[in-house]
């Protein structure tokens, strides 16, 4: 072991780190390329198979070692995440990942900590896989789109058959072996109409305490495929903008009243970080710039982003050029800066720009109300969400800044609801709404019961003496 450590230190010292190289970055490695044992209807990556005609879609042992070595060498920080995705990465077999872990330990510098992650559909997991994950402290992402009927709408196998039972079997094996996991849910045109059913299933039945909600936005190319980020129309599987906003809002209302501190929803965590003015939201789509999340194909090709695995965004191949050279190249730097520099004026003037930053560039294919191109397809829904959560986010941000736990927001909102209910009970249908909107009560907060959603306006409830 001392000789191995010495070799690893020597390699790192001999590497010429480019001047503008980031100290750290996130790389998604795809050892099977686009190959998967399922045939999910909305999967944006399955079409990528045509980019590599005749390929076996199997990362070689030589490339595996090159990847692990270069990834560790490239990091100037004490923590490195080794992330696997697909396709379906478990198709590589368990021995491949045993070798990956061994190589990572071989090249790891003494002061460095490693985190192994893997995103899977869960259908191929067994006790051996899960014991390995637990032994090596893997974080597993497993894809579940909600309860059976909603999950099986689009997440089907190669024969078009349902996958829910196989996925849940995989989840239960992860839980049996006490493997750390999170759940990724693709929000599509169907399950987006059932936000609370999805959320409560993930929380209560699946036992999730960390959830990612990823909007399905499939751009239809001129040839009818979804191979490239081109085209101004979307598939009928794609979530609608306002539908996505309502999906997030209803789940947020459930979460902020009952689950803060126990359930972590990535979108809500990132939003709070932006309300706090932190340097990073933790989600690339809600950061001011991007470019620090690259994708490695099975043959060593490195691309600007997982969503831009297409020829125009190929940075090079790590067999020919070290990955840190590619990640810090002018082409990749420009890719990251374009997220900020190509915002339309409508975004620059938006009151929630600090929270959204135009979301993901892949979704910027609609026009602003003034006709300027480059507006995000999801804009309407995202605005609806950020405006909806403003008051609770301010409360949580204030609590954290004063050294209190964010979960105290639940008690504060409960008291607020009680105060507003007392005011509403004293208000006639044709009276002005006490929220200050200037509308009659029957056209404002008299339209729904207080127990629907948050049931409070986005401002503190006045005490009776303040009226």
Per-residue tens of pLDDT for the chain, all 467 residues: 333 333 444 444 568 899 889 999 999 999 999 999 999 999 988 889 999 999 999 999 999 999 999 999 999 999 999 999 999 999 999 999 999 999 999 999 999 999 999 999 999 999 999 999 999 999 999 999 999 999 999 999 999 999 999 999 999 999 999 999 999 999 999 999 999 999 999 999 999 999 999 999 999 999 988 899 999 999 999 999 999 999 999 999 999 999 999 999 999 999 999 999 999 999 999 999 999 999 999 999 999 999 999 999 999 999 999 999 999 999 999 999 999 999 999 999 999 999 999 999 999 999 999 999 999 999 999 999 999 999 999 999 999 999 999 999 999 999 998 888 888 899 999 999 988 889 898 888 887 654 456 766 666 544 433 32
Taking CA atoms, 424 is separated from 415, 421, 431, in Å, by: 14, 5, 10
Cα of 160 vs its chain's centroid, Å: 27
Pull the structure tokens for residue 292: 């620090």
The token duo for 459 is: 């401002």
The pTM of this model reads: 0.92
Do 323 and 71 touch, CB atoms closer than 8 A?
A: yes
> Among the options 145, 253, 259, 306, which is catalytic?
306
Tell which residue, 190, 194, 213, has the closest CA to residue 263: 213
270 phi and psi angles, rounded to 5 deg: -65, -40
Which residues have a Cβ under 8 Å from the Cβ of 149 and sit 6 or more positions away? none
User: For this structure, is 306 an active site residue?
Assistant: yes
Beta-carbon count within 10 A of 356 CB? 22
How is the beta sheet containing 314-317 ordered, strand by strand? 264-265, 210-215, 180-187, 138-143, 113-120, 79-84, 26-29, 293-296, 301-303, 314-317
* Parallel/antiparallel/unpaired status of strands 138-143 and 314-317: unpaired
Q: Tell me the chain's radius of gyration from C-alpha atoms.
A: 24
Q: What is the longest distance spanned by two Cα atoms in the chain?
A: 83
Distance between alpha carbon 338 and the CA centroid of its chain, in Å?
Answer: 20
């Amino acid at each position: 072991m001392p000789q191995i450590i010495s070799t690893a230190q020597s390699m790192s010292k001999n590497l010429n780190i480019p001047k503008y190289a980031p100290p750290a970055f996130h790389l998604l490695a795809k050892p099977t390329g686009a190959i998967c044992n399922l045939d999910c209807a909305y999967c944006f990556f399955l079409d990528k198979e045509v980019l590599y005609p005749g390929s076996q879609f199997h990362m070689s042992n030589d490339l595996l070692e090159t990847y692990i070595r270069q990834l560790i060498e490239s990091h100037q920080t004490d923590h490195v995440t080794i992330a696997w995705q697909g396709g379906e990465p478990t198709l590589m077999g368990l021995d491949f990942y045993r070798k990956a872990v061994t190589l990572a330990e071989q090249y790891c510098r003494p002061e460095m900590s490693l985190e192994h992650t893997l995103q899977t559909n869960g259908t191929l997991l067994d006790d051996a896989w899960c014991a390995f994950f637990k032994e090596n402290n893997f974080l597993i992402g497993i894809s579940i789109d909600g309860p059976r009927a909603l999950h099986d709408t689009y997440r089907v196998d190669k024969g078009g058959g349902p996958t829910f039972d196989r996925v849940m079997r995989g989840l239960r094996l992860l839980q049996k072996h006490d493997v750390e996991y999170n759940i990724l849910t693709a929000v599509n045109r169907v399950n987006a109409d059932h936000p609370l059913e999805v959320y409560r299933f993930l929380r209560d039945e699946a036992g999730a305490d960390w959830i990612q909600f990823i909007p399905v936005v499939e751009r239809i190319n001129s040839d009818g495929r979804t191979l490239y980020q081109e085209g101004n129309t979307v598939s009928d599987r794609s979530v609608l903008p306002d539908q996505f906003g309502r999906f997030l809002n209803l789940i947020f209302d459930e979460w902020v009243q009952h689950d803060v501190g126990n359930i972590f929803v990535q979108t809500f965590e990132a939003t709070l970080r932006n309300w706090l003015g932190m340097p990073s939201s933790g989600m690339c789509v809600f950061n001011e710039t991007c470019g620090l999340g690259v994708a490695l194909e099975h043959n060593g090709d490195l691309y600007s982003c997982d969503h831009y695995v297409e020829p125009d965004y190929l940075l090079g191949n790590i067999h020919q050029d070290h990955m840190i050279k590619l990640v810090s190249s002018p082409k990749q730097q420009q890719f990251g800066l374009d997220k900020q520099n190509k915002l339309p004026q409508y975004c620059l003037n938006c009151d929630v720009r600090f929270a959204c930053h135009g979301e993901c560039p892949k979704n910027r294919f609609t026009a602003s109300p003034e006709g300027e191109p480059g507006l995000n397809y999801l804009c309407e829904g995202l605005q609806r969400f950020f405006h909806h959560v403003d008051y609770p986010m301010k409360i949580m941000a204030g609590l954290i800044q004063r050294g209190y736990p964010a979960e105290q927001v639940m008690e504060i909102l409960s008291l607020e609801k009680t105060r507003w209910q007392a005011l509403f009970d004293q208000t006639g249908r044709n009276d002005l709404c006490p929220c200050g909107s200037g509308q009659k009560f029957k056209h404002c907060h008299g339209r729904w019961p207080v127990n629907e959603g948050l049931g409070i306006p986005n401002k503190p409830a006045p005490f009776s003496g303040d009226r």
